[in-house]
Structure 1
Amino acid sequence: MKKVLIIILILTFSCSQKQRNADVVKFEEVLGERETKCLNLLVSDFEKNLNKIYPDLSVEKAYQQYLTDMISDATSDREKFKFQSRETNIEFHQSGLWKDIYTKDSVDGLQVNQAGKYMKALYEIKSSDALINNYWKARNAVGMMQNAIVVSGILSNDPNFRDYFHKRIVVLEFSF
């Protein structure tokens, strides 16, 4: 009986992992090759910064702490949240990823680009995960949101910061 249960668990995990990999491929195809490479650079810079400011925490716990500190009234050093290297910031703009995510409005300032490839890529995979689905719905309905609302929304959806998409949502949400 135990062997059957173990086999079922392995098969279930294997199928869900294959689906997740297919979702990553679909997301990256819609986003584009250069934009995906840029997004990966942003994640790398973000995680290097996490390691610098939270050296004693695992990457997963550091993501959680970053979000908590981001909205904490006790946090006085806002500079620690800046994570992009100069090179990555240049690529963020030159790759077109910034324009896929944001638009500048002379009246309202920075706005979400609802028609960009990032929103389209999220739309393609939103049904695969509650956090992605809820994030896409909120961003599509509201656009730019205050940090406290974003953080609360992410944390209330039980994020897994080993997950490809959960990491990228956090990183892009705090990349301007």
Structure 2
Amino acid sequence: MQKFYLILILVLTFSCAQKQSDNRIAEFEKVLGERQTKALNLLVSDFEKNLSKIYPNLTIEQGYNEYLTDLISDSTTDWEKFKFQSDKTNAEFHKSGLWNEIYTKDSVSGLQVNGIGKYMQALYSVKDSDSLIKKYWKKREAAGMMQNELVIPGILSLNPDFDNYFHKRIVVAEFSF
């Protein structure tokens, strides 16, 4: 009978955690917008297809780590492998308005983070539920665009879980300009 109660408690705990996760995703997507969410999902899909192509012997999760590590490695010379957007996805990224929600172009200083765009608002809506989201949001809000040599070690130091819906999207959005 004790085993039954233990199993029941575990099932209830897991289902509550799953519901909280689903609620966070729903909130993020609601703030971001339906079309922008679809565009972001396309970017993630293209990114993961590229990971499978350039790291065929690694899991997708390991591929995320390797991609980030290779991106700042002094020994990396093949920069083409980091390009992951199909023409169709890139077109939707712009037509959906997602690009404008993440970035802005400044004629003086070039590419800038859209600190008041829906992407930052969507991250803000869920930031208190995850330490990586919270720290990333704070750094991005304070510093705007950051060099890869700063962003990547920062993300990796927070032990990202590349099974996590949000961690994936942070990385993909960060390298989708």
TM over 0.5: yes
Shift of 1:16: 1.2
The C-alpha deviation readout for 1:108-144, integer Å capped at 9, x for no partner, is: 1100001100000000000010000000000011000
1:96 aligns with 2:110: no
Secondary structure (helix, strand or coil) at the match of 1:84 reads: coil
Offset of residue 35 of structure 1: 0.3
**Residue 108 (structure 2) aligns with:** 107
Cα offset, 1:4, TM superposition: 4.1
Compute the TM-score of the two structures, normalised by the length of structure 2: 0.96
Describe the shift of the 1:9–1:149 C-alpha distance in structure 2 as closer, same or farther (beyond 3 A).
farther
Q: Is 1:80 equivalent to 2:81 in the alignment? A: yes
Give 3-state SS (helix, strand or coil) of 2:42's partner: helix
| % identical aligned pairs | 68
Report the Cα offset of residue 10 of structure 1: 2.8
Residue 7 of structure 1 and its aligned partner are, at CA, apart by 3.4
Q: CA deviation at 1:95?
A: 0.6
User: What TM-score do the two structures reach when normalised by structure 1?
Assistant: 0.96
2:40 is matched with: 39
Q: Which residue of 2 aligns with 1:165?
A: 166
Separation of aligned partners in 2, 1:82 and 1:88: 12
Q: 2:123 — aligned with what?
A: 122
Task: Summarize the Cα distance change of 1:74–1:6 in structure 2 as closer, same or farther, 3 Å threshold.
Answer: farther
| Uncovered stretches (5+) of structure 2, i.e. residues with no partner | none
Which deviates further from its counterpart, 150-159 or 114-123? 150-159
Post-superposition offset of 1:45? 0.4
> What is the root-mean-square deviation of aligned Cα atoms in Å?
1.1
Residue 42 of structure 1 and its aligned partner are, at CA, apart by 0.3
Q: How many residues align?
A: 176
